[in-house]
Amino acid sequence: MSFLQDPSFFTMGMWSIGAGALGAAALALLLANTDVFLSKSQKATLEYLEDIDLKTLEKEPRTFKAKELWEKNGAVIMAVRRPGCFLCREEAADLSSLKPKLDELGVPLYAVVKEQIRTEVQDFQPYFKGEIFLDEKKRFYGPQRRKMMFMGFVRLGVWYNFFRARNGGFSGNLEGEGFILGGVFVVGSGKQGILLEHREKEFGDKVNPVSVLEAARKIQPQTSAAESK
C-alpha cells in the first residue's frame, strides 16, 4: 500500500477527476448547441388557428375567433414571446419594415401576446406597426407549446442573436413570461391555408422577412377568389 503514500498518485487522481469533469462539461456544452434537446414543434392546422379565442386590448375588450384576422385578405401574424424582450422587439421592427409592401398587397399585419402586464404592450407598440391582441390561452404558441429554459443561455446562436440586437440599438426589460417560444404565421384568406409557419427554435431566432413577403404575395383576397370562380 506504499502507493497510497505517494503524492504523485493523488495528483494523478485529481487530474483524472478534473479531466473527466471538463470532458463532461464540454460534451454538455456541445449537446446544448445542437438541436438534440430542443422542444419539437408541431405544425398547426388552419382549423386549429381558426378556433383560437382572441381579445382586443381596449378598456372593454371584445372576444372573437382568430379567423376574423385573415378571413378576407389573409394576414401576417407574430406570436410574441415577450413584448419587453429586446430580441422580440428586433423581430417586430423587421416585420414592421414590411408594412408598406404589405399595405400595397392589402395584407394586414397583426401580433398576439400571451399576457398584458402594466405598460409592456404599450411599450412594444413603437416597434410593431400593426394591431395587437391577447391570446390568454396561449394557443398561438401551440398546438405543442415549446419552452426554452436556461439552456438557451449556453447556446452560441442565442449569444450571437443577443449581440446582433444590441448592436442594432434594441433594448428591453425582464418583465413577464419569456420561456414559451413564439413564431410568425402567414395565413391566406378564407380556406387558403397556412402559407408560412415559422417557429422560434431559440431566443432571437427570427423569421426571414423575404420569406414572409414571398408568402404574403401568394395570398388571394376573398374578392379575387370569388371573381375567379
Query: Is 85 a catalytic site residue?
Result: yes
Catalytic one among 77, 78, 79, 85?
Answer: 85
Rounded distance between C-alpha atoms, residue 145 and residue 115, angstroms: 15
Contact status, residue 67 vs residue 110, Cβ threshold 8 Å: no
Alpha carbon 189 to its chain centroid, in Å, reads 23
Catalytic one among 69, 80, 87, 88?
Answer: 88
* Cell representation of residue 78: 407574430
Query: Is 88 a catalytic site residue?
Result: yes
| DSSP, res 38 | S
Q: What does each C-alpha distance from 212 to 75, 117, 217, 221, 228 come to in angstroms?
A: 10, 29, 9, 17, 25
Q: Which residues are catalytically annotated? A: 85, 88
